[in-house]
A = this chain, B = another copy of it.
Amino acid sequence: MHLPTLVTLCDFVATFAFALVGARIAAGKGMDFGGIAMVAAVSSISGGTLRNLFLLHQPPWIVNAWLLLPILLGVLLTITFRKVEPVGRFLLALDTFGLAVATASSTQFALNQGVNPVVAVILGLIGGIAGGLFRDLLAQIPPVVLHRETIGTSCLLGSATIVALRECHVQKIIAVLIGGAVVVIFRELSIHFEWNLPRVS
């Protein structure tokens, strides 16, 4: 399989994962089919959309409309199987994979635009978490990423890893793979050991 094909496949799986989680949460909040589709779409595309707009590029789904297909698939699956129960173990794993792909591709995209390394780390973080943040705001539930779990920390570690490796002239593909693995491993460990960031109060 060629590398570009693999990258595109990863992007599609990540988009599908985010859409599926978004659709599930919207369905659980009692939204109608339109609301489910909209929350699914916002969950999966706002990270890349925001990242691209900040760098004065058109959103990914305008550049490549095929990205809308995995969203449609996620919505149809949710509606067809009338899934409303909380996100289970399998879907959580899919979501983590999506997080890794979104973070790695956002960081790499930012580096390609020649931004400052610190900015690339932040844009990688935004690409990873913005979708989930907007999803929760639309569903009017307290955003997971602000209150508990270690989604943001995982993405930040992953994007910082990629930027650091690229600064040390490690090959692009290797840096991205290691960075993505950091996201997955840290996220899985934090779920397993119930790590949480501390609070002030």
Closest Cβ neighbor of A28 among chain B residues = B201
- Cα of A122 to Cα of B39 in the assembled complex, Å: 14
Contacts of A142 in B (CB 8 A): 140
Give the oligomeric copy count.
3
A6 contacts the other chain (CB 8 A): no
A68 contacts the other chain (CB 8 A): yes
Closest Cβ neighbor of A123 among chain B residues = B62
Supply 11 A–B pairs (Cβ within 8 Å), ascending by A.
A33-B199, A34-B152, A38-B146, A38-B152, A49-B54, A54-B62, A56-B56, A78-B200, A84-B201, A137-B138, A138-B143
- Cα of A189 to Cα of B144 in the assembled complex, Å: 39
Contact B58 A56 (CB under 8 A): yes
A119 contacts the other chain (CB 8 A): yes
Expressed in whole angstroms, the minimum distance between the Cβ of A199 and any Cβ of chain B is: 5
Tally of A interface residues using CB under 8 Å? 55
Closest Cβ neighbor of A56 among chain B residues = B58
- Cα of A68 to Cα of B123 in the assembled complex, Å: 13
Closest Cβ neighbor of A39 among chain B residues = B146
- Cα of A78 to Cα of B58 in the assembled complex, Å: 37
Contacts of A145 in B (CB 8 A): 34-35, 38
- Cα of A82 to Cα of B68 in the assembled complex, Å: 44
Contacts of A104 in B (CB 8 A): none
